[in-house]
Structure 1
């Protein structure tokens, strides 16, 4: 019985092992020579490929400019961005320095054409307003790295199959990581907003490194044959060049991943704290600036005060996560300002607001200051107007102070944003009758 039990246990192990091998094995269905030929064929950016690249970047720029995800995805479906980057990963994996040189050259052509195309598009004045889709590509976080690496793995595995049925679809994952940052960099160049250009190019560079790393990883896992050289000395020199190149790519990728993970964790910790203060403590928070490199947080608050206990709890939590000596800058809580003898500009505006609430003089007297503060709350606001509406129920007449806000056409959640500004203005002016309405 014991023998039979051991045989049964061994049978189950073999069955599980066989199931896992059948499910996840990619070696048996790999066509090495065809994969190398396909990747090499996709490296050159010339002729039809160059024009397809230009048009796909143009479409993607328009999609980002209108915050249309569908249009951006459409551009990704036809984008040939993957060729040179996969070529770099392949050349490192098979020790082919000539292929590496060719891939780097075409990669430079690809970047230049993309930047020029997006630059020309965003040079047209009517296309120069910032959109959420553009702003989202001004800096990387750890999720961008995961998208790039997973996209690179998916594409090289799809390329290695004997059947190429899903290669084009897998290429969309590559374009997801590359096209939006390049278009955003072109936007930064066209508008002179260098923080857009720097952030987007950094994001593009990070994604490029991880896509190439993914290709290199699978090429070595599948044991693609190394390139042979007749001259042994030349072979040694080329091997050294390849190893140095691989080191230069792989080591920074690990460093960047760790750094971006810590930055994302830092930002999310702050965001969760701010969200908790807004939802559970009734604190209105705006002008949020999180600087991971300087370990500094800045934001302004209106309405309820943030308790010292909550701030100390945030500092302790950040310290436990390895972010020591974080500096938290908070604009003076407006509710604490009234009793101070020396008033700063914000406090003067507060007292003016209180006078408004008590009808000591009209909002028109400080309309310029209030409108600037409203614009600081959301830069998607195009115009602010103010008027007093007379309302009658046929028994009495009431006067309703009303702000009219015009939003950019691509703005989302306008009703929710209007409500937030209305709540802020009611707290600021201590007038619960005040209303905020959106206008076209």
Structure 2
């Protein structure tokens, strides 16, 4: 009977329910897998032949396409010069720059050496024509201000690399779909921003600043490489048919050349990505360090941290730099700065960075103004717009005006006056602006409060002596003295 009960236990309802749960779970996983497959699958709706044909058609730069490129370069140059984002976007929409770049990526993926040759040729023509057109515009055009739109195109960072790569992915996927998605093509043309760097190259050459041109050309090459890399990867993923050659030896040679070229392109792409990624990590930790130190520091008097002039520099082969600028007469104590240096070393990527704090407290008024002017000229590329520039200068002028009285050793003067003239109860000082409607002067004024009960003739005698003493003591004949009301 016990055997019979054991057998019934094996076929108990609990085991049946466990099997049903397993079946339901497997069914759920299968449904999710099927849903994701249908959601993300792009091979089944790809037209390889039409995609290849459309990319090859867009490669040449002749006739109409060349004139469209020239016009779009002129429009982009005007927009960059006028600091108009809307005009630059319009120029990018009509620009035909993508053709040769997609051609290079596709030809490497399918071992099409003839298409690669045509793509490289037209790519070179495109770059030379674009730079020459931009150079002519900026060389002949009388207004050549260094706008923020132009200066933003002189150095790539991690965002430019990611935009170029994912923009290239979106573009090739859109081109490969049966019934191309035109809106994606326009969006990628705007996002990847191939044209503004070329315009900035022409601008740098026109104004005689080759480092602008070099930085902008580097940004353009980075964009090109990552768009081409994205094209290569998508074409490989979609398994476009390889170009076949009758001669097997030639086919192997071309495949080898295409592979080597692809590797050579990916090496600088990988190196650049690593560099800009390291720079982004450095700046992230530097920003965190600043938030914990200078941004929470409380100045007691007239000191002020000028965050717009902060410099965070990360250059390969050179010592990284964190440079802060503080204005006003109040100096940050050395022990506080040393504490910040210790805190800096707690960040892994800031240990070797040079830490500087520029302070203006020991300068006289004229030197301070010159210092502000130099900082403004040096860092105006980092200011957002003209309103920001005006705001910064107005604040510094207001600070200098507010602290002008501190140029006179008032504490020493007041102590000496108290020792020499016992009838004084209080002493004040300020600069007063006066005019006779012919000219305007700023006059140093001392305001004296006399003790109660002092006779009028004694006041006048002491005031006369004190005024003479102040003029000799401070070597300033324009000093005025009056009685406090």
Aligned match for 2:341, one of 301, 311, 314: 311
- Against the structure 1 CA distance between its residues 428 and 57, is the aligned structure 2 distance closer, same or farther, given a 3 Å change threshold? farther
Q: Does 1:108 align with 2:124?
A: yes
User: Closer, same or farther in 2 for the Cα pair 1:2/1:222, shift >3 Å?
Assistant: same
Mark the runs of 5 or more structure 1 residues left unpaired by the alignment: 336-346, 354-365, 383-407, 436-440
Indicate how the Cα distance of structure 1 residues 75 and 289 shifts in structure 2: closer, same or farther if over 3 A, else same: same
How far the C-alpha of 1:417 sits from its partner, in A, is 2.7
Alpha-carbon offset, residue 374 of structure 1: 3.0
What is the aligned partner in structure 2 of residue 375 from structure 1?
Answer: 373
Q: How many residues matched?
A: 378
Question: Which residue does 2:354 correspond to in 1?
Answer: 327
Q: Name which of 305, 308, 314 aligns with 1:292.
A: 314
2:62 is paired with a residue whose SS is: coil
How far apart, CA to CA, are the structure 2 residues paired with 1:33 and 1:20? 26
Equivalent residues of 1:284, 1:424 under 8 A apart = no
Q: 1:428 Cα deviation (Å)?
A: 6.0
**Equivalences for residues 28-177 of structure 1 within 5 A:** 28-166=44-182, 169-170=185-186, 172-173=188-189, 176-177=192-193
- Matched with 2:27 is 11
SS at match of 2:377: coil
Change beyond 3 A, Cα 1:99–1:427: farther
CA offsets, 1:122-173, max 9 Å, x none? 1135331111111111101000000000110010000000011336644644
| Pairwise CA RMSD | 2.9
Distance 2:279 2:70 in 1: 34
Deviation at 1:218, TM superposition (A): 0.1
Does the CA-based 8 Å contact 1:81-1:174 persist in structure 2?
A: no
For the 8 Å contact 1:266–1:292, the answer to whether it is kept is yes
Distance 1:313 1:41 in 2: 59
Question: Alignment partner of 1:197: what SS?
Answer: helix
SS at match of 1:27: coil
Aligned to 1:197: 213
1:425 aligns with 2:400: yes
Distance 2:120 2:238 in 1: 23
Equivalent pair of 1:64/1:72 in contact (CA under 8 Å): yes
Task: Report the 3-state secondary structure (helix = DSSP H, G, I; strand = E; otherwise coil) of the residue aligned with 1:378.
Answer: helix
Report if aligned partners of 2:170, 2:184 keep a CA contact under 8 Å in 1. Answer: no
- Residue 233 (structure 1) shift: 1.3
Aligned-partner Cα distance in 2 for 1:433–1:261: 53
Whole-Å separation in 2 of the counterparts to 1:430 and 1:48 = 69
Mark the structure with the bigger radius of gyration: 2
Deviations along 1:390-429, one digit per CA (max 9) or x if unpaired, are xxxxxxxxxxxxxxxxxx9962435643554346535764
Residue 326 of structure 2 corresponds to 301
Q: CA 1:9/1:307 → structure 2, altered by over 3 Å: closer, same or farther?
A: same
Distance in structure 1 (CA, Å) of the matches to 2:133 and 2:432 = 47
User: Do the aligned residues in 1 keep the contact of 2:192 with 2:223 (CA within 8 Å)?
Assistant: no
2:153 alignment partner, SS class: coil
- For residues 20 and 75 of structure 1, the distance between their equivalents in structure 2, rounded to whole angstroms, comes to 38
Between the aligned partners of 1:120 and 1:52, the Cα distance in structure 2 is: 17
